[in-house]
Amino acid sequence: MEIPLIDLKSEYMALREEMLASIDEALQSMQLFLGPNVRALEAEWADFCGVGHAIGVGDGTDALHLGLRAMGIGRGDEVITVAWTFFASIEAIVHTDADPVVVDIEPDHFCIDPKAVEAAITDRTAAVLPVHVYGHPADMDALKAICEPRGIRILEDAAQAHGARYRGAAVGSIGDGGCFSFYMSKNLAGYGEGGMLTTNDDELATGVRMLRDHGQRQRGTFECVGYNSRLDEVQAAIIRIKLRHLAENNEKRRRHAALYNELLCHDDIITPKTAPDCEHVFHLYTIRSPRRDAIVQALKAADIGHATHYANPPHLSPACGKVLGVVPELPVTEQLAGEVVSLPMYPGLTEQQIAHVAEVVLGSL
């Protein structure tokens, strides 16, 4: 039974007529420059996240970069983040001319370890960039307790965590700002690129709005040197339709994860954990096993989609080596790199498919 890691086509087919009508309406209006769909999505996403502002940008990497820039972070500053993430989290820091400082993660949820953050703080630390990886929130209370007394900003990387909640609060509403990606594989996605920054900070919101549009607050008046990073109107029309289904689809993901957890009961498998008072949205369903390579071979043989995020963590890459200078010791990150494998996860999965995946995994051990 062939099962993909993610099935984008089934979601599209279910919403096809509504999407085509919305795209056609957007194109017929020809209001394509920060038009009505972008403005509506910004309002709807701000309401969904419980924040005062949501600013649409070109992609998730730009959300991180422009967020840091608007916070005034630049040369001479340090920004603490993790290597258990896509390279964009580190890349965005480098693009501000700040120095990335990567620290280890905690092994239960793969999120930034607050103790490691505290140990890494120097008089140059300007911000912490926690990643809500795989859809599980980082320990935001612990991070705020460390950062707020020191005046250190927190910019949440919520690119994998649309709809996740920490003690009742939506991710993206807890730090000084939150950054989302609408890349096609995300829980909330367009069919191309797109991103959003959320915040309750009026000054930060104003700064990002200017930076995304060449430094303009009013047309033709350039208050700073900015960028061309505006959310596309057609992508916004698509994302607005998908947003109506996000809560329901996240609940389906949680049910799928619960079934996986039940079926994958084995001494050589560690299934994902959810911290108390957190709502995981399972952008990825990732297990750990000392016999990961055998599992991967079995999944390949059975035509079952899978991935090993992040088997090659960014701090070990050539580009990051040039930036960091000395490669940091991250024992938890490097151990997990040899143990993790992500299994198929998307709302349209069936119980039969999940049972088959579990059977193949268990059969490899």
Please identify, in words, the CATH class of the domain defined by 246-363. alpha beta
Quickly state the pLDDT bin for 218 (edges 50, 70, 90).
confident
As annotated, the residues of the chain forming the CATH 3.90.1150.10 domain(s) are 246-363
Quickly state the pLDDT bin for 220 (edges 50, 70, 90).
confident
Q: Lowest-pLDDT range, 25-34, 35-44, 162-171, 235-244?
A: 25-34
**pLDDT above 90 as % of the chain:** 92
H helix or E strand, kind and range, residue 144: helix 140-147
Rounded mean pLDDT of 68-93? 97
Rounded mean pLDDT of 275-301? 98
Report CA-CA distances (Å) from 249 to 18, 46, 252, 345: 17, 19, 5, 11
Rounded mean pLDDT of 31-48? 96
Per-residue pLDDT, 126: 98
Question: Is pLDDT at 327 greater than 90 in this prediction?
Answer: no
Averaged confidence pLDDT in the chain: 96
Rounded mean pLDDT of 329-335? 95
Report CA-CA distances (Å) from 222 to 53, 208, 242, 248, 277: 22, 14, 35, 43, 45
Which residue type is seen at 49?
A: C
Beta strand pairing call for 177-181 and 153-157 = parallel
As annotated, the residues of the chain forming the CATH 3.40.640.10 domain(s) are 8-243
Rounded Cα gap, residues 332 and 234, in angstroms: 41
Question: Is pLDDT at 352 greater than 90 in this prediction?
Answer: yes
Per-residue pLDDT, 114: 98
Q: pLDDT tens for residues 230-251?
A: 999 999 999 999 999 999 999 9
H helix or E strand, kind and range, residue 342: strand 340-343
Quickly state the pLDDT bin for 87 (edges 50, 70, 90).
very high
**CATH fold group of domain 8-243:** Aspartate Aminotransferase; domain 2 (3.40.640)
